[in-house]
A and B are shown apart, each in its own frame.
Chain A
Amino acid sequence: MKSGFKLSLVSLLAISLTACGNNGDDGNGNSSSPSSSDQPPASSAAPKEMKLTIGLPGAYDVTKKEIIDGFIAKFPNIKTEIVEVPWADFATKITAEIAGGTAPDVWVQENAIVLGYGIRGVAEDLAPYIKKDLNDADYISGLYASKTPDGKVYGIPHGINPVALAYNKKMFADAGVTPPTDDWTYADMIEAAKKLTKDTNGDGKPDQYGFAISQGITQGWYPWTRSYGGQVLDDTKTKAMFTDPKSIEGIQAWSNLVKDGISPDADFLKVAGGDWKAFGAGKVAMYFMQYSNQTIINKEFADLDYDTVMMPKSMDGKRIVPIVTNSWVIFSKAKQASKDAAWEFLKYYLSAESQMVLAKSGTSIPVQKNAITELDVNTNPKNKKAFSDGIAEGGVTTDENPSWQEWRLAAQPIFADIYGQKLSPEEGAKQIQQKVQDILDQNR
């Protein structure tokens, strides 16, 4: 009796512990054993009566419902389940789900994170799928934003979000300053910004600024560093380059805008509600605008008369246009049939039909060439070519690699101190160099 009781106790404990662990099955019958990402898909045709789970961070604010509905209508044999999660909570949720083997079959996330998933065996290598089913000539190079140096492709762009120079037409006209053109250099932009910075109420402090610099990477220190001839990481993405003299020169130019009072400081922008709101409210004449910002600016500042030109040219005449991509990723540990269904969805997403919907939405630029010609030029900014041509001429990711998230988080607070004039660019660059290089070395 006593031994029977002990056995029951041990069994109960074992059951409890097993329930908490990963038993190799996601509870839906999906095996969690990794399928070889080197194997091409068995078939690109959607299998009959397939199940597909699509993870949608930000729900239909981020991904157009029209596209999802179109897919469901077109593929009735694929039983599609949509998992909507607020964007801010998604990273935490998906991490736990991946660890537990219960992640959706396909979901969208920041491209840099997707690259990290790739080296950890979480993201399916889509190179064989692309090779089999897509025609490269139909797409811009941004299709391969998730491509690694060894040729693997871990994601399909949800859309491309490039940066262009946005300017307030009225403020330029009022100040009698010639509006920017695609031929502007950084020096031209700074010169105009000086003329547009004004103390309109005579209290000794500017209340209208020529340009708002961003503290962040994409619209802030990355394009400035690169455009002054410097680098953030080297071409292999394994060496930090912040202490390169040209990099420091770029960081210096970036922080000087605040130091010289041409760009507002952090407090001013905080009160204004951010750079795009300061721009919308006519407190700032220019800023580096991400393509997706247009929807919210047009919504909140419907009367704002503004447009865009391409990013200014660098010192050497080249153009640096940072692009941000969110990417669709297929869970490598899903069943092959689910992966095939997920790829069917991605093919539909990349089709002309869906890419046109994306083009008209204004949230990001599609990667399909025909769809790019359909960008809405009737709403501000009317010069959408500033973005699309910008990608073609100088589109670069912000040196994304699998440890991007980590090194960016390490560098950002030091850049914030340089921006706030608490640290000199030289000293700051030294600190960033050490921190970022340590992270790159740890992740080798």
Chain B
Amino acid sequence: MRREARWGYILTLPFTVHLLVFFAFPFFFSLYLTFTQWDMFNAPAWIGGKNWVRLLDDRSFWSSLRNILLFALVFVPLQTILALVLAFFLNQSIRAKSFYRVIYFLPVVTPWLAGGTMWGWMMNKTYGLANYLLGLLSLPPVDWLDSKHWVLPITSVALVNVWKGVGSSMIILLAAIQGVPKDLYEASSLEGASRWSMFWHIVFPIVSPMIFLVLILSTISAFQAFDVFLVMFNAPNIVPDSKVTPNILIYKDAFLTTKMGYASAMSWALFIVIMAVTLVQKRFEKRWVHYG
């Protein structure tokens, strides 16, 4: 047994070392950094809780949390519902099913740089397609991305993010829906169930664990949003508070002004927020997710 255990340790050693060096060490080191001032060029200087105190008073950081919260509130439910509806219909016997699946998945493999630039132009106030269409309906132009009211630009970006992300969520849910036994559809059909009843009483409960997974993953990715803002607002390092996200602030402090201590404090604060939101989601899990 001891001999087997020894071999076990030896064979898992590369993974253990990898885990310790590239995951555990940075994790705890970044926590230590939150209590330091570190410019990356000299040894970190211990400053106690000053970074955390500054964080409480940092208007930009609180604005970024407000922005990302709205972003998540728009993006997560919208993407999940849309992905579920698409997955349900693309599981039906319809013509050119594969074609539609490819079309809906295409944005996932489109680079953000191309997709974001395209959407940026479509949402341009003066020359954009969106306002051109509104003009045809005699509606006034909307400043989708540059409005001084923060809600509008953040919502616009969240919608673009739905376009980009719905395909991957759809694939996960489609796989789950395809696992629903066909005889359940047949039996309910014989009982005269409508398509809505089939969806709500059969499909939804069975795929609910996957919906929960999609919700958790989408929420985490929403709070970590970076590239979509990076592309849609052109200059991530000079976005105003009304459009900033925590990850942009972290990037700016860590890599543009090398204030690694404060950037680490913001990273940990974001981690705490994401953990809290995930725990809240987990708490409500039993109310609607059905396992087996």
B240-A95 in contact (CB<8A): no
Which residues of B sit under 8 angstroms from A416, Cβ to Cβ?
238, 240
Which residues of A sit under 8 angstroms from B255, Cβ to Cβ?
91-92, 95
Task: Give the size of the chain A interface in residues (CB under 8 angstroms).
Answer: 35
The A interface, classified by DSSP as helix, strand, loop or mixed, is helix
A267-B41 in contact (CB<8A): no
Over the window 377-411 of chain A, the binary record of Cβ atoms lying under 8 Å from chain B Cβ atoms (1 yes, 0 no) is 00000000000000000000000000101100100
A271-B127 in contact (CB<8A): yes
B239-A413 in contact (CB<8A): yes
**Cβ of B25 < 8 Å from any Cβ of A?**
yes
Q: Which residue of B lies closest to A408 (CB)?
A: B238
**Cβ of A7 < 8 Å from any Cβ of B?**
no
Residues in A116-147 with C-beta less than 8 Å from chain B: 117, 120-122
**CB < 8 Å neighbour of A405 from B39, B127, B257:** B257
A to B contact number (C-beta, < 8 Å): 65
Task: Give the size of the chain B interface in residues (CB under 8 angstroms).
Answer: 28
A95-B258 in contact (CB<8A): yes
Over the window 185-203 of chain A, the binary record of Cβ atoms lying under 8 Å from chain B Cβ atoms (1 yes, 0 no) is 0000000000000000000
Q: Which residue of A lies closest to B125 (CB)?
A: A267
**Cβ of B129 < 8 Å from any Cβ of A?**
no
**Given contacts A9-B9, A95-B258, A413-B238, are A120 and B42 in contact (CB under 8 A)?**
yes
**Given contacts A95-B258, A268-B126, are A16 and B17 in contact (CB under 8 A)?**
yes
**Given contacts A5-B9, A409-B257, are A17 and B25 in contact (CB under 8 A)?**
yes
A413-B41 in contact (CB<8A): no
Which residues of B sit under 8 angstroms from A5, Cβ to Cβ?
6, 9
**Cβ of A173 < 8 Å from any Cβ of B?**
no
Which residues of B sit under 8 angstroms from A406, Cβ to Cβ?
257
**Given contacts A268-B126, A271-B127, A422-B148, are A409 and B238 in contact (CB under 8 A)?**
yes
Residues in A251-285 with C-beta less than 8 Å from chain B: 265-268, 270-271
A409-B40 in contact (CB<8A): no
Which residues of A sit under 8 angstroms from B127, Cβ to Cβ?
267, 271
**Cβ of B20 < 8 Å from any Cβ of A?**
yes
Question: What 11 new A-B contacts, CB under 8 Å, besides A120-B41, A409-B256?
Answer: A9-B9, A12-B13, A92-B255, A99-B40, A120-B42, A409-B252, A409-B257, A412-B238, A413-B240, A416-B240, A417-B240
Cβ of B24 to closest chain A Cβ, rounded Å: 11
Which residues of A sit under 8 angstroms from B258, Cβ to Cβ?
95
A16 to B23, CA, bound (A): 13
**Cβ of B21 < 8 Å from any Cβ of A?**
yes
**CB < 8 Å neighbour of B13 from A9, A121, A266, A270:** A9
- Would you mind naming 17 contact pairs between A and B with Cβ atoms under 8 Å apart? A5-B9, A9-B13, A13-B20, A16-B17, A16-B20, A17-B21, A92-B255, A95-B255, A117-B41, A120-B41, A121-B41, A405-B257, A409-B252, A413-B239, A416-B238, A417-B240, A423-B148
Which residues of B sit under 8 angstroms from A405, Cβ to Cβ?
256-257
A95-B237 in contact (CB<8A): no
A412 to B2, CA, bound (A): 65
Which residues of A sit under 8 angstroms from B238, Cβ to Cβ?
409, 412-413, 416
B9-A409 in contact (CB<8A): no
Residues in B1-47 with C-beta less than 8 Å from chain A: 2, 6, 9, 13, 17, 20-21, 25, 39-42
Which residues of A sit under 8 angstroms from B9, Cβ to Cβ?
5, 9
Which residues of A sit under 8 angstroms from B227, Cβ to Cβ?
none
A121 to B42, CA, bound (A): 8
A327 to B58, CA, bound (A): 33
**Cβ of A233 < 8 Å from any Cβ of B?**
no
Which residues of B sit under 8 angstroms from A268, Cβ to Cβ?
126
Which residues of B sit under 8 angstroms from A114, Cβ to Cβ?
none
**CB < 8 Å neighbour of B40 from A98, A121, A417:** A98
Residues in A1-53 with C-beta less than 8 Å from chain B: 2, 5, 9, 12-13, 16-17, 20
**Cβ of A420 < 8 Å from any Cβ of B?**
yes
Residues in A76-128 with C-beta less than 8 Å from chain B: 91-92, 95, 98-99, 117, 120-122
The 10 A-B residue pairs with the shortest CB-CB distance, nearest first, are A413-B240, A422-B148, A267-B126, A412-B238, A99-B40, A406-B257, A120-B41, A413-B238, A16-B17, A122-B41
Q: Which residue of A lies closest to B126 (CB)?
A: A267
**Cβ of B124 < 8 Å from any Cβ of A?**
yes
A267 to B120, CA, bound (A): 11
Residues in B237-251 with C-beta less than 8 Å from chain A: 237-241
Which residues of A sit under 8 angstroms from B25, Cβ to Cβ?
17
B124-A267 in contact (CB<8A): yes
Cβ of B239 to closest chain A Cβ, rounded Å: 6
**Cβ of A414 < 8 Å from any Cβ of B?**
yes
A413 to B127, CA, bound (A): 22
Q: Which residue of B lies closest to A434 (CB)?
A: B59
Which residues of B sit under 8 angstroms from A98, Cβ to Cβ?
40-41
A422 to B148, CA, bound (A): 6
Cβ of A310 to closest chain B Cβ, rounded Å: 29
Q: Which residue of A lies closest to B26 (CB)?
A: A20
Which residues of B sit under 8 angstroms from A267, Cβ to Cβ?
124-127
A340 to B75, CA, bound (A): 57
Residues in B92-126 with C-beta less than 8 Å from chain A: 124-126
Residues in B209-249 with C-beta less than 8 Å from chain A: 237-241
**CB < 8 Å neighbour of B17 from A13, A95, A117, A122:** A13
Which residues of B sit under 8 angstroms from A403, Cβ to Cβ?
257
Which residues of B sit under 8 angstroms from A414, Cβ to Cβ?
240
